[in-house]
Amino acid sequence: MDAQELRRLIALKRDGHAVPAESWKAIVDGYVADTVDEAQLASLLMAVTLNGIDGNETIALTQAMVASGEILHYSKHPVIDKHSSGGVGDTVSLLAVPIAAAAGVHVAKLAGRALGHTGGTIDKLEVLPGVRTDLSPERFIELVETIGCAIASQSAKLVPADRKIYALRDRTATVPSVGLIAASIVSKKIAAGADAIVYDVKVGRGAFMHDLDRAKALAERIVCVTKSFGKPSLVFITDMDEPLGRQIGDGLEVLEAFAILRGEQPLTERLPKLAVRLAQAMIDLAGLSASAKEMVTSGKAFERLEMMLEAQGADLVACRALVPSSVQTTLRAESDGYITSIDPVAVGEAARSLVLKYGSFAGLQWHVAVGDKVRIGDPLLTVYGDEIANQYVSCLTIGVSAPTLRPLIAFELDGR
Ligand code: URA
Ligand code: CA
């Protein structure tokens, strides 16, 4: 792709037209090979973010991205993957993967690191003593086939185009584009060899898609691109207008996942409820009939999680002994009322900076959720790592009347 031709394509997209399928391939290949000018690609990405790309362009872009690296294959079983578009306190993968695996599903999960205010499954796993996530494709496939599940980080061999383009999008404020997000997410799932996929598209202040119409457009595009590879999917649009779990921060989120799978937390709360629902969708896609909930209550999911962690190098005795930071302080309500909002961006950023400053087991633990009634003196939030609680007061608002509650699952799309 020469500079002249790329300038013509940028102008085409600037004026709202489609870029031909074969040109997407040349652009992606050129960028990965360092022969496409970054300024030109950045400009094209902004034109895409402003004017959009259609379904066929998204498919062409996704195919080009998949072809930039290897594609994994599993000989023995159909493999199911699950992906979230990113949120705060979104520890669903650490729960849904072992739940589905305990039910007999083979789960190959390629996960990412934290982005902006959102958490990343890989960062969470790495707080566990001994755990490795940089698995070779061979080892990853072996674990999926023997233990039933594995969680690995994206390697340089799988979708290198996504790594590189994603970093450029992050720098140029071109992440929130329906077509670009769909291509980025679906390309990773196809390269990791999934036969069917459960997608969790987040909607709300803490998500890339702030309103339901945009989230639905992303969900529909993801289904359309996944289908173009001949793979079925189920998409759930779920609430990210407040943090999903009660504990925010890499280590605290892992401890919350352990507690849920050990049966120490009610399954009616938002995080376990969504994890069980998504695991059930994975079980359904695999054509099995087990109950996801039963996998938690029987302890089988926790057993499977420990098997997976041990196979990935974990020292289980050390893992079981982990506790939150001993430096802690609790913020209490200064008025009676209802919790009307908990800002997921403020919470995600506060937890990340606590972890950076005070270590993996610092962070925030919520004692309340949106809609709860509180009285003066009730505990709202425990801060681990820091000694001054009132600087976190702006993470939430208390009002005089009960807020309208948002549904946990706003919409479901069946892409089978
Ligand atoms: N998650 C991804 O993997 N890619 C995006 O573009 C957005 C969220
Ligand atoms: Ca996440």
* Res. 98: pLDDT tops 90: yes
8 A C-beta contact, residue 199 and residue 99: no
Average pLDDT over residues 359-371: 97
Residue 229, SS3 per DSSP:
coil
Tell me what the pLDDT averaged over the chain comes to: 95
Nearest alpha carbon, ligand 1 atom 7 = 181
What is the pLDDT at residue 128?
97
Tokens of 300: 């089988």
- Cα separation, 272 vs 49, in Å, equals 34
- 372: annotated active-site residue: no
276 CA to centre of ligand 1 in angstroms: 23
pLDDT in tens, 237-246: 999 999 999 9
Query: Given 13, 25, 82, 83, which residue is catalytic?
Result: 83
102 CA to centre of ligand 1 in angstroms: 28
Within 13 A of 247's CA, how many CA atoms are on the CB side? Answer: 25
387 band by pLDDT with thresholds 50, 70 and 90: confident
- Cα separation, 96 vs 133, in Å, equals 18
The end-to-end CA distance of the chain, in Å, is 37
Q: What share of the chain is helix, strand, coil (3-state, %, to 5)?
A: 45, 15, 35
147 CA to centre of ligand 2 in angstroms: 23
At 317, which amino acid appears? Answer: V
pLDDT in tens, 41-69: 999 999 999 999 999 999 999 999 999 99
The number of the ligand nearest the C-alpha atom of 244 reads 2
Testing ligand 1's pocket by substitution, the residue of 180, 181, 188 carrying the most ligand atoms inside 8 A of its CB is 181
* Res. 116: pLDDT tops 90: no
- Cα separation, 342 vs 371, in Å, equals 10
- Residue 152 β-bridge partners: 110
Testing ligand 1's pocket by substitution, the residue of 166, 201, 240 carrying the most ligand atoms inside 8 A of its CB is 166
What is the pLDDT at residue 76?
81
